[in-house]
Amino acid sequence: MSEKCDQNCSGCGEDCSERKSPADLTERPHALSSIKNVIGVISGKGGVGKSLVTSMLAVAMNKAGKKCAIMDADITGPSIPKAFGIKEKAMSSEEGLLPVKSRTGIDVMSVNLLLENDTDPVIWRGPIIGNTVKQFWTDVIWEDIDYMFIDMPPGTGDVPLTVFQSIRTDGIIIVTSPQELVSMIVSKAVRMAEMMDVPILGLIENMSYFECPDNGKKYEIFGSSHIDEIAKDHSLDVLAKLPVDPKISAACDAGEIESLEGDWLKAVAENISSTVNKGKDK
């Protein structure tokens, strides 16, 4: 314990053996920012469509009349600008860094908007990546945002930990795929959220089925879904099951995610709005 200790553990950053409460590591957003709700989108493993779900959620919420933003926290694998067809670079002012607006007005910040070339690799160690995510929160001016979606890298490593500790997060959505292995992976993500005291809004299963255009039947081409069992085990809601649909991947590849026709996540957007606001009313 320091000789100058004032017994105010919540305002102290020292790793003291006599600490009475954990230090508050929450960072304040930029002074000119206004962000009402923050939703994290996570996955226990890569390749399940987390960035796709993040993009579609923001689009669905935007269509519902909410001002939305996406923070692309997947620093080494950024894909949000590609999905939205954003090619211009982020600009700065004397006050701070400005996000790039998509065609329909969604504010986006991604490391790819700061690199000279989209294909330049980000070869950084964990602490630098974590600090970059913090700067996306503290140095970027997010104006009048109703819902910010944070697209996190897969797993339970540095960046999710940084986000949960540094950014006031109102809830997270876990993205899964229909594979037996996913049960264990989801459990890890759930346990991390519980340990960090972050509410879990529910699960979304991507690549859940393929609906044949010829006969209308649904085929589980990636195996039988276990999402309902997983949700029951953890007392969570299944928010949506997204199909394998060539239109979705084509829209992402073309940067036309905002033009994609489909209401797969419309109900999810409504659910998020009511759940988050209900939680804040308590």
DSSP for residue 258: G
Joined tokens for residue 199: 């509410």
Mean pLDDT of the chain: 89
Distance CA 135, CA 161 (A): 15
Q: Is 40 exposed, middle or buried (0-12, 13-18, 19+ CB in 10 A)?
A: buried
CB-CB contact of 155 with 47 (8 Å): no
- The pLDDT confidence band at residue 19, using thresholds 50, 70 and 90, is low
Distance CA 94, CA 113 (A): 18
Joined tokens for residue 77: 């694998």
Strand partners, 130: none
Q: What is the pLDDT of residues 91-139, one digit of tens each?
A: 999 999 999 999 999 999 999 999 988 888 888 888 899 999 999 999 9
Distance CA 113, CA 215 (A): 43
Q: What are phi and psi of 155, to 5 degrees?
A: 95, -170
Q: What is the pLDDT of residues 202-236, one digit of tens each?
A: 999 999 999 999 999 999 998 888 889 889 999 99
Joined tokens for residue 106: 């969604």
Question: Model's pTM, two decimal places?
Answer: 0.88
Domain limits of the chain? 28-281
* Percent of the chain at pLDDT exceeding 70: 89
Q: Given a cut of 90, is residue 173 above it in pLDDT?
A: yes
CATH-assigned architecture of domain 28-281: 3-Layer(aba) Sandwich (3.40)
Pairing mode, strands 200-211 and 171-176: parallel
Three-state DSSP state, 155:
coil
Q: Given a cut of 90, is residue 277 above it in pLDDT?
A: no
